[in-house]
Amino acid sequence: MLRFEQVSVGDDLPPLVKPAISRLQLALYASAGADHNPIHVDDAAARFGGLPGVIAHGMLTMGFLGQLLTRWVPRRQVLSFSARFIGMAFPDDVITCSGKVVGKRVEAGCNLVDLAIAATNQKGETLQSGTATVTLP
């Protein structure tokens, strides 16, 4: 188990590289997330909406960021997690999630670690950036 004294400001979390996004994954996510907006599964509908084609759900990419966090600490230790949507992910994009320790503090007897997190595509374009705070023993 990771401990507070083992973590330093500037440390990187182990990156999470997801396999290429597939159209099947988008269809399954649409059902699981109850988001059946056709821009996520139908190229013609996406183009009609002004997009170059189908785009991945932003919450799918945010879920990848959540997975980055819960591979580093158990879910119960994630106190806050937020992300800002910056760019779009498309089918066949490979998403890499990364994180960096940007702060450590003790508050009300809790050891808190603040993180900057991001999801980028294979071109190095940032799709989401965010923050998280975890507690460590």
**Per-residue pLDDT tens listing for the chain (137 residues):** 999 999 999 999 999 999 999 999 999 999 998 989 999 999 999 999 999 999 999 999 999 999 999 999 999 999 999 999 999 999 999 999 999 999 999 999 999 999 999 999 999 999 999 999 999 99
pLDDT value for 27: 94
Please identify which residue in the block is written with the tokens 């056709």. 38
CA dist., res. 81 & res. 62, Å (int): 10
pLDDT value for 134: 98
Residue 82's φ and ψ, nearest 5 degrees, are -145, 155
DSSP symbol at 14: P
Residues in the chain, overall count: 137
pLDDT value for 28: 95
Structural domains present in the chain: 4-20+56-135 (3.10.129.10)
Angle at 122 between CA 119 and CA 127, to 5 degrees: 30
pLDDT value for 5: 97
Helices (H), 23-92: 23-32, 43-48, 58-72
pLDDT value for 83: 98
